[in-house]
Amino acid sequence: MHNDRIKQLRALARDVQNYQIERGWSDSKICSQIANIGSTKTYKRILDEADPLDQMDVEKQIRSYEAAVELIKARRGKDRPPEPEYEDFANIVDSRAAVARALQEDSIARFVVIEGENGTGKDAVKNALLDKWSKIIVPVEATELWRESMSVPLADIINALSIRRQTESGEKFKMPNFPAARLELIIEELKNRKLVLLINEGHHMGPRSLNLIKTLINQTPVVPVMLCIPKLLQRLVSSAYEEAIQLFGNRLCERVRLNAPAEDEILLMFERRGVRFADVQEENLAAQALARESAHFGNWRYIVQVTREAREMGAGKAMTLKTFTEAQTRARSRRVSNQQMKA
């Protein structure tokens, strides 16, 4: 009977651990966020199958972990697990390497384009770049207004640079009314040191904003990095060819294309998100199946959903290919494929 209660406690602890894995939290973080599970030492002991849990009040811990699981269920109803952002995955490695090369460049070839379909990790790349170069990255998001006006992108960049200077009379900073004055202010700020201007949703830019980036490259040491969707970027280049060719020609340092999930990285995702298989061959077949169809259902967003379903269905046990296929079906039914959207 005592052994059955220990098994029950460990099953509850694995539910907590699944929540921890989803969020990429450390043991100390999960213990601080879910107070009912106690100290990291207690948490690790319960998860350790070799620990007989001597001198532990198992019944008290079961009550505490049942409360922890109920709290997690409530939190799951309100929050959303974060997208996977693994720094050793190819899309992040390639993007960081491209920006690093642009930072080393002394010529005008400092423009970096990072393009990827929905779900291929543009947000993960953005977060990874911010994490690595937090002191020198200036993040800004382009909108459709950038296509029509010079004043809007200039104001957005000034705000992103956090320019809050005071005049000699002590008055607070006031945004200049005219584009020329705003541009002068930006150039003066960017001349001070080499910064990375990280432009998210760069496909919203137009001829004027493309010329703005060209001017900033010509007159400052800034490294502009554009995150965008390939087809929308192609439309931008086609509609503003003369302006675009000046950026995508001798000012281009590197163009990074974010790929769909690869089989080897899907296998790593299984390992890191707690999806275990009893048979290696079945695990490889599952990864191959996901790699084939992920582009039709949202790339990494789909992979995340499948692994979440699989982990919940597996309940901490090693999976079979049949169970995993059921998890795929559940996840697939919750998403609308790109093919259906195009139809």
Q: Domain check: are 160 and 217 in the same one?
A: yes
Top mean pLDDT of 95-109, 139-153, 275-289, 294-308 is at 95-109
- Kindly state whether residue 81 falls inside one of the protein's structural domains: no
Q: Domain check: are 103 and 216 in the same one?
A: yes
Residue predicted with more confidence, 39 or 115: 115
Q: Domain check: are 27 and 117 in the same one?
A: no
**pLDDT, tens digit, 9 for 90 and up, residues 186-196:** 999 999 889 99
Q: What is residue 343's predicted lDDT score, i.e. its pLDDT?
A: 47
Q: Domain check: are 24 and 64 in the same one?
A: yes
Q: Domain check: are 118 and 234 in the same one?
A: yes
Among 71, 162, 122, which Cα is nearest to 257's?
122
**pLDDT, tens digit, 9 for 90 and up, residues 12-58:** 999 999 888 877 777 878 888 888 888 888 888 898 888 888 888 98
- Kindly state whether residue 49 falls inside one of the protein's structural domains: yes
Q: Domain check: are 230 and 125 in the same one?
A: yes
Q: Domain check: are 239 and 106 in the same one?
A: yes
Among 261, 260, 218, 255, which Cα is nearest to 234's?
255
Last residue within a domain, chosen from 257, 272, 303 = 257
Q: What is residue 239's predicted lDDT score, i.e. its pLDDT?
A: 87
Query: Domain containing 52: what range?
Result: 2-76
- Kindly state whether residue 84 falls inside one of the protein's structural domains: no
Query: For the chain, what is the mean pLDDT?
Result: 87
Q: What is residue 266's predicted lDDT score, i.e. its pLDDT?
A: 94
Q: How far is CA 182 from CA 16, 207, 245, 315, in A?
A: 52, 18, 25, 58
Q: What is residue 245's predicted lDDT score, i.e. its pLDDT?
A: 87
Last residue within a domain, chosen from 51, 76, 101 = 76
**To the nearest 10°, the Cα dihedral for 18, 291, 285, 93?**
-70
Top mean pLDDT of 63-67, 83-87, 237-241, 318-322 is at 63-67
- Kindly state whether residue 179 falls inside one of the protein's structural domains: yes
d(CA 306, CA 290): 9
Q: What domain count does the chain have?
A: 3
d(CA 51, CA 48): 5
- Kindly state whether residue 234 falls inside one of the protein's structural domains: yes
- Kindly state whether residue 61 falls inside one of the protein's structural domains: yes
- Kindly state whether residue 64 falls inside one of the protein's structural domains: yes
Q: Domain check: are 102 and 41 in the same one?
A: no
Last residue within a domain, chosen from 50, 76, 102 = 76
* Mean pLDDT of the 322-341 span: 76
pLDDT tier for residue 336 given thresholds of 50, 70 and 90: low
Q: Domain check: are 12 and 160 in the same one?
A: no
Q: Domain check: are 235 and 313 in the same one?
A: no
Q: Domain check: are 131 and 208 in the same one?
A: yes
**pTM across the whole model:** 0.72
Residue predicted with more confidence, 168 or 46: 46
- Kindly state whether residue 66 falls inside one of the protein's structural domains: yes
Query: Does 252 score more than 60 pLDDT?
Result: yes
Among 202, 156, 206, 207, which Cα is nearest to 182's?
156
Q: Domain check: are 223 and 168 in the same one?
A: yes
Query: Does 1 score more than 60 pLDDT?
Result: no
